[in-house]
């Protein structure tokens, strides 16, 4: 059994469209980099037990991105466990529990720890809404704009699919009214406030466009995609700490265990997760306290996954490892942030995984330096594959 089907459509070496599901693009693309991705994932898939391959393959091929991402994360975690010397048993039975963890890691025939995997996202849009926005992006990328790239700022998402033909017509009319030399002069002088913008609306959905002058190499070409930059029009709070907190709490569902439990969290979003986010989510948000006499200090609010006002909680979870968005091109660059629970009922040995870890010792956070994730995964030295 293989992870990928044979190529179904000839799509050549074009970039992935915004609205295109990931799996069929990886399956059909003839780009050298994508071919390298297929080869790597097939090697990882071959390590999966035969009894588990069908389920993982179905979810990996799903057009629903959340299902695809979750399956890819499980494939990645299985590879991490295997390359670290473990045997990974899928969905092991836990005594007196109807639910099962994702993995049981054994070493030398001896069970060592359980792993629960969870993928969460920071998008405020549903997948249906995101698909509508992505269809608009794809519509824009085929517009003929010989003089300008486009910066696109969106406010929310459309409640229904807008007319691509009408959008291209309206936007094309506006672009043709612009003078490249004038707009280029604004950019060259730093007078960005004078750069013209165009607002297009559809049933309360607002999209703002800004022209970016093309350089000598791309000006006049029609083969280069029009969109250069996309961004939300309104600022929003990115609550990585809360997502980590809720993800870890949701996996504390087994009661007393006889082995340590590691919760692996992937946070999918536009911005990376950092150690500050993870510590706030697990040990409580850091706050700055000022007394009337002017003295001040920092302390943590007791609102983390492992700390509450009444004391330690979710102590069945021995440690958490958190990743930012994982895609095959980022396998070697997204380093996990692993933190041990200082209140765990059963501690997880820091030698179980070779990656860098963080542990509270004598009230202070210590970094236990490990190898890079690329080394831990035994990735080829040439990874990531070339962008061709």
pLDDT at 128: 64
pLDDT digits over 211-270, tens only? 999 888 888 776 667 776 666 544 455 589 999 999 999 998 888 899 999 999 999 987
pLDDT for 10 beyond 80: yes
Query: 252 phi and psi, to 5 degrees?
Result: -90, 75
Q: How far apart are CA 227 and CA 209, in angstroms?
A: 10
What is each CA distance from 118 to 110, 283, 305, 316, 345, in whole angstroms? 25, 19, 15, 16, 22
Taking alpha carbons only, the member of 44, 57, 59, 50 closest to residue 90 is 50
Can you give the residue ranges of every domain in the chain? 51-122+239-376, 127-232
pLDDT given at position 129: 67
Question: Half-sphere exposure (CA, 13 Å, Cβ side) for 178?
Answer: 29
156/381: higher pLDDT = 381
From the number of C-beta atoms within 10 Å of its C-beta (0-12, 13-18, 19+), residue 171 rates as buried
What is the pTM for the complete model shown? 0.77
Is the separation of the CB atoms in 377 and 348 below 8 Å?
A: no
CB-based burial, 246-284: b 16+ in 10 Å, e otherwise: bbbbebbebeebebbbbbbbbbbeeebbeeebbbbbbbb
Poorest-pLDDT segment among 73-87, 175-189, 190-204, 265-279: 190-204
How far is Cα 211 from Cα 214, in angstroms, rounded to an integer?
A: 9
The per-residue pLDDT of the chain, averaged, comes to: 88
The more confident residue out of 236 and 339 is 339
Note the helical H segments in 16-126. 22-28, 32-46, 50-60, 65-83
- Backbone φ and ψ of 360, nearest 5°: -85, 120
Residue 180 has pLDDT above 80, yes or no: yes
Q: List pLDDT tens digits, range 90-147.
A: 999 887 777 889 999 999 999 999 999 999 986 545 556 676 777 777 777 778 888 8
Distances in Å between the alpha carbon of 214 and those of 14, 28, 199, 338? 20, 31, 21, 43
Whether residue 220 contacts residue 146, with contact meaning beta carbons closer than 8 Å, is answered with yes
Q: What is the mean pLDDT of residues 360-372?
A: 93
The pLDDT of residue 229 is 67
3-state secondary structure of 187: helix
Could you tell me the pLDDT band of residue 65, with boundaries at 50, 70 and 90? confident
Is 70 exceeded by the pLDDT of residue 35? yes
The answer on pLDDT for 311 being more than 70 is yes
**H-run or E-run covering 175:** helix 164-176
pLDDT at residue 161 greater than cutoff 80: no
Say what the pLDDT of residue 195 is.
93
Other Cβ atoms within 10 Å of 38 Cβ, number: 17
Q: What does the pLDDT read at residue 132? A: 72
pLDDT at 231: 63
What is the percent of the chain where pLDDT is above 70? Answer: 92
Compute the C-alpha angle 226/227/231, nearest 5°. Answer: 165
Residue 185 DSSP class: H
Smallest Cα–Cα separation from 265: which of 293, 244, 251? 244
């Amino acid at each position: 059994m293989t992870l990928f089907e044979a190529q179904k459509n000839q799509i050549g070496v074009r970039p992935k469209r915004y609205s295109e599901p990931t799996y069929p693009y990886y399956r059909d693309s003839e780009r050298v980099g994508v071919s390298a991705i297929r080869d790597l994932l097939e090697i990882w898939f071959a390590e999966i037990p035969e009894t588990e391959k069908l389920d993982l393959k179905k979810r990996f091929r799903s057009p629903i991105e959340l299902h695809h991402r979750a399956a890819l994360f499980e494939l990645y975690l299985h590879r991490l466990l295997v390359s670290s010397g473990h045997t990974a048993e899928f969905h092991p039975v836990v005594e007196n529990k109807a639910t099962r963890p994702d993995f049981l890691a054994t070493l030398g025939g001896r069970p060592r720890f359980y792993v629960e995997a969870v993928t969460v996202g920071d998008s405020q849009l549903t997948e249906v809404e995101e698909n509508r926005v992505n269809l608009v992006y794809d519509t824009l990328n085929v517009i003929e704009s010989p003089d300008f790239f486009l910066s696109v700022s969106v406010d929310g998402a459309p409640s229904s699919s807008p007319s691509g033909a009408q959008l291209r017509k309206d936007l094309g009319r506006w672009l043709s009214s612009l003078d490249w030399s004038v707009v280029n002069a604004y950019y060259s002088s730093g007078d960005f406030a004078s750069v013209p913008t165009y607002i297009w609306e559809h049933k309360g959905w607002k999209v703002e466009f800004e022209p970016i002058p093309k350089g000598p190499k791309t000006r006049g070409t029609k083969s280069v995609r029009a969109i250069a930059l996309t961004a939300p029009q309104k600022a929003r709070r990115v609550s990585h700490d809360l997502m980590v907190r809720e993800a870890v709490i949701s996996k504390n569902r087994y009661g007393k265990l006889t082995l340590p439990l590691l919760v692996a969290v992937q946070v999918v979003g536009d911005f990376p997760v950092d150690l500050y986010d993870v510590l706030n989510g697990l040990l409580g948000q850091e706050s700055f306290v000022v007394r009337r006499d002017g003295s001040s200090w920092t302390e943590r609010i007791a609102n983390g996954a492992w700390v509450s006002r009444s004391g330690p909680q979710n102590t069945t979870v021995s440690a958490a490892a958190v990743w930012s968005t994982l895609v095959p091109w980022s396998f070697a660059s997204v380093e996990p942030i692993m933190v041990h629970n200082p209140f765990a009922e059963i501690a997880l040995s820091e030698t179980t995984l070779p990656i860098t870890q963080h542990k509270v010792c004598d009230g202070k956070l210590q970094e236990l330096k490990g190898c890079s994730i690329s080394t831990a995964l035994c990735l080829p030295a040439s990874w990531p594959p070339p962008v061709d």
